[in-house]
Structure 1
């Protein structure tokens, strides 16, 4: 255990001691790789148990990575692609899949190309993973909240028994972003790193919901209802999927796919108006033809349901946001391009992930902090973002592997250099 501030008992003939701060997927992956490199590893976690957000991610089916070609995947990371390329090349989607199956957890590729464990759950994977870490001798200490650096460069933790100070040969900090703070990712690392002068891009919601001004009638009737098999277009980009009406606005995979563009537009213009296609599988002409058919005594809602196959929530959206006249051509245009006015971004507490973080200019090619040699960073606390679809965990794991490799080399060299 890393309880000695002095650390003078370390010798070249013993395993270098490395601290990992954070027991989410990035921290646990770094710990595994460090232990496999011959390091004595202690993981410090602020929460009473490990990987809480990782477990939450598995509730809807744990999307580990994506099977698309590497170059296409790299493009999902936008401006951060160049900084992440080496890490993603070294620990690819194929490597992540092999790692998972090496734990005895079989995977499959879904129809969208996403990769999942066959159980669609996190808990079997996490149990097998913790078992491997235990066999490697990795120690995990919970209720240890990192608060900063000691004067001599060591680490300081708050614990139920009072302050704890340790001085490892190297450190990997993997404390996540700021989304779902009740699960541990509360951005508590911003202040101690900021005190070092580390440049941190503002933390913003990513893969998040957006605010819309619904009528009270619409909210009372349709909050919680899914919008299925729709498409959303904004600034030349189109996504397909599903969304969910909320009391405050709208959320879900369809919105998350364009969340960066929508967030930036709201920052710039105060609002964003993407176009919602409620029947992306039908052309405008085909839809107009269907709606122009005589409806006899049927109500407009019944006609929209039977002729255009719209769901009740889609019909209500059309009434909420579409034209007042029931002219078939106007209705068809609205169904194909319904203006969805978004007035704000939902908070970090419900966002899937976090944009912003420690800028890559603060790190060397090993993911080591230039301002604090021997300290390496990994995961979502770095300044990158990506859509859902496996890209979040893929980069989280890849940066953890890269940081662990750098930390193991640094720690080994540090121990060998001691008299």
Structure 2
């Protein structure tokens, strides 16, 4: 007969069950408490998020918070910034930026926030296209960062009229960028030659946004950016890489070189030919001064601070790497500015020493330079940026170098 283990006394068994029940109750209570804490934290976070979303920064708060952090700012549209301390309140020249203030009547630029309008926002929020936005209250979301060397908000991710549904980043087809089919842009010119081609190209490229001379600074920092150092630009003649911030009129700074010398046609820095970025380039102040308003030709003596550039009494020869660039900029100007809109009729010719006449030479040399130095990656990117980001038009002789010989056989 098998032995049977003795059963615990009834009182002991009940005690064991009681202990187990108590432990279960305690564990359950801990779980309930933990779940309650998690729910409380989640509710608190959600409440904080709703509170943040419901209270955009004022313009004065945004001016004091130039940290690069992304914030939503509420303010009234009070003008178009065109320089660090200049805001147009009428006669708007472009759709590149708007100024916000805490009051619709504010005129003190130090109390304004400059908002950059990147490509996707311009048609809906630029003041040249939408002057009725003046005085409207809007919310803008984006990084708080200086723009035009002024307190600003750059690259917005959302713009909303107060009281309306938020406008997401548009997903519509962007402004055309060059691919193997820039023929879409040049549709009216394809198949033409000679004077018919020139006329068609003029009609295409004259459709552009006209910049101010102050806006040229910002444009050049983009169009001529050093591909190996995004903080620098490349000077056209010297080829030197220099800090974007080191611009101005001092020795060893860079300034805005008019490749088509502004005295040739006497247009100065007037909006239009005087501010067209297709022929404005960064250049060392000293080298720019040495070039002056000279025509282009081969030969001469080495230029100070630019040993592979040359000049004599009536002409200037740039370094080999940009001779084609120079030629195509000059030829662009000749086709773009044909005497309309109150601007001079610019023409290349075979002379040097053209002075204040609206001519520049030497055409045969420029044609040779264009053929010998075809468009490179830097020049093509520059053409793209001017088209997409700044002026909305292109230099046809970068896209189709063969058109040089067709127009000027």
- Where on the TM-score scale, by shorter chain, does this alignment land: which range? under 0.3
Q: For CA contacts below 8 A with separation 6 or more, give which structure has more relative contact order.
A: 1
TM-score, normalization by structure 1: 0.24
Larger radius of gyration, structure 1 or 2?
2
